[in-house]
Amino acid sequence: MAKRMMNEKQMIDVIWGATLLGGGGGGSMKNGIDLLAKYKFDHPKDPLEITVFDYKEMDKDSYAAVTAGMGAPTAIKDVDFSAYATNAFTTLQETALKMEPPKMLKYSLAVELGGFNTFVPMMISLVNKIPFIDGDGAGRAVPALNTLLLHVNGCNTSPLAMADGQNNKLTIELENPRDAELAEEIGRHICMSFGMLSGLSGWMVNQEDLKDRIVNGSVTLSEKVGNVMRLCAENNKEVFTYLNKDSVVDCKLIGKGKVVKSETVMENGFDYGKVVVSGDEELVIFFQNENLLVTKNGESIMTVPDIICTYDVSTGQPLTNADITEGMEIAVGAIKVDEKWWKNPNMFEVWKPFLERVGYEGDNIPYVK
């Protein structure tokens, strides 16, 4: 899709859809909607629209950069994040101009899909009057920098900029710009020093990166998914059935039931835990910020990178793990992740340490229709 304008209703659809596609992480829908409302309040005279570019419309000698929230989802949940984001992006712009040769950051890009982390870079486009790229760095949400598709397919992590809401800021510049694991370790310590929450900007990418290495078209996909979800919510329809019916995304319903247990422990800037759903069969979702593994009656049935996601049956609204509470009636679904995850035959190696933390040491179990 070529360059187009996106209005408020379409942004809300993106927030709904990106929350579902985030797979339990990426920030809740409420956070994204609240951030949009805060922008409207602070800029009452500005038109609420952004220019969305396909990667083909990018200048070949200019760059897009991601801006996101780093930290535990429960820490982000009730915070006005706008200052964190803009402080981080401005710091990265200043750093980029000092590079040799200087790099021009002209576009905003989502690091991942999620109700919060997809809207944050949209807000950067609104504030800075720059185009928003129809793509993202993961095609889902992920728990760490080294689990991004950006990293898996060989894009540079460094330099990174981090900032808090008071504009305490710093940059991370690594000898090996692709050392995402070291960037993650450093970033998590900074995040904890900032009170378990930080703005993060980095991963400067160009047109070729978007074409060959990371996901393009995912903002438009999120908008389509969100539109279907909102219609289903209004008419009390089952979401995954209609997403398949309209050929929006390849997905399936795994099951529905009541949340009988929701366990979350915040540690080292992450939310760890599991959600137990009791219905016709028992489903257990294991997560570290994002959903990593789902079991049915004790048998593992799907792992990351394919997307394990949930929505509230009573409202039709997509859920993150930070939103789920015991007693809630939820639907659990599976969505096939973007094909670029399979470009690197060793991609599952980045996920193994995270799965081991939740007790799974097996091989990748991909989405099956």
Strand segments (E) across the chain: 4-6, 50-53, 63-71, 105-110, 132-136, 160-163, 169-172, 197-205, 215-216, 251-267, 270-279, 282-288, 290-296, 299-303, 307-312, 318-319, 329-335
- Nearest 5°: the CA angle 241, 18, 45 is 125
Domain boundaries, the chain: 4-216, 242-357
pLDDT reported for residue 72: 67
Strands laid side by side in the 299-303 sheet: 299-303, 290-296, 282-288, 270-279, 251-267, 329-335, 307-312, 318-319
Here the contacts of 145-149 (C-beta below 8 Å, separation 24 or greater) are 145/180, 145/181, 145/183, 145/184, 145/187, 146/180, 146/181, 146/184, 146/350, 147/350, 147/351, 147/354, 148/111, 148/112, 148/180, 148/203, 149/213, 149/214, 149/215, 149/338, 149/340, 149/341
| Mean pLDDT for the chain overall | 93
| Least confident stretch, 58-67, 68-77, 109-118, 130-139 | 68-77
Note the pLDDT tens digit of each residue in 100-128: 999 999 999 999 999 999 999 999 999 99
Equal CATH topology for 4-216 and 242-357: no
- Does 272 score more than 90 pLDDT? no
Burial of 339 (0-12, 13-18, 19+ CB in 10 A): exposed
pLDDT reported for residue 79: 72
> Which residue matches tokens 């940059």?
171
> Which residue matches tokens 């980095």?
202
Distance between CA 282 and CA 280 in Å, rounded?
7
pLDDT reported for residue 82: 82
Coil/strand/helix, residue 55: helix
277 and 259 Cβ atoms separated by less than 8 Å: yes
Structural fold of domain 4-216: CV3147-like fold (3.40.1610)
CA 225 to chain centre: 15
Crossing angle (nearest 10°) for helices 82-97 and 29-42: 80
| Least confident stretch, 4-8, 136-140, 241-245 | 241-245
Does 75 or 127 have the greater pLDDT score? 127
Buried b (16+ CB within 10 A) or exposed e, 124-154: bbbbbebbbbbbbbbbbbbbbbbbbbbbbbe
Structural fold of domain 242-357: CV3147-like (2.40.390)
Specify the DSSP class assigned to residue 322: T
Note the pLDDT tens digit of each residue in 205-253: 999 999 999 999 999 999 999 999 999 999 999 999 999 988 899 999 9
Beta 63-71 vs 105-110: how paired, if at all?
parallel
- Does 268 score more than 80 pLDDT? no
Note the pLDDT tens digit of each residue in 165-190: 999 999 999 999 999 999 989 998 99
CA 82 to chain centre: 17
